[in-house]
């Protein structure tokens, strides 16, 4: 009987360790998916600036150094799909587009695009 209790205890301990490791792996995967989601929005915004804005608009944005691009603009230009979803919440970006705005800045003449949250 004592051996049975010890075996069950060891198996329970092993189960707890495995469950804890799986939680960490899933959390890292979710973080990676969210970073890829943000990168897609940022890359699309940078592409939008280069392909859809004329030189005057880009120069104005450079001098102000604080421009934004909405999700609606990116969807309407065809750079992102209107079915793109936030992997953390499952919501479509177009359904909650005010939550996602991409900021465009030039730092030392290098353009950066970052999602504002």
Q: What pLDDT, in 10s, does the model give residues 29-41?
A: 888 888 898 899 8
**What mean pLDDT comes out for the span 71-85?**
88
**What mean pLDDT comes out for the span 102-115?**
84
Q: Is the pLDDT of residue 61 over 80?
A: yes
Predicted confidence (pLDDT) per residue in 82-103, tens digit: 888 888 888 888 877 677 888 8
Q: What is the mean pLDDT of the chain?
A: 85
- Residue 112's closest CA among 37, 38, 30? 38
- What pLDDT sits at residue 67? 87
Query: Any idea what the Cα angle at residue 66 is, between residues 99 and 100, rounded to 5°?
Result: 10
């Amino acid at each position: 009987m004592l051996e049975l209790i010890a075996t069950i205890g060891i198996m329970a301990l092993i189960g707890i360790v495995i469950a804890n490791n799986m939680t960490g792996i899933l959390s890292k995967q979710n973080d990676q998916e969210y970073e890829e989601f943000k990168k897609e929005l940022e890359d699309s915004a940078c592409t939008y600036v280069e392909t859809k804005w004329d030189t005057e608009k880009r120069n104005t944005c450079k001098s102000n150094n604080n421009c934004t691009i909405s999700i609606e603009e990116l969807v309407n230009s065809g750079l992102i799909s209107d079915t793109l979803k936030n992997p953390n919440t499952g919501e479509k970006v177009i359904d909650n587009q005010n939550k996602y705005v991409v900021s465009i800045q030039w730092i030392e003449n290098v353009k950066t695009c970052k999602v504002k949250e």
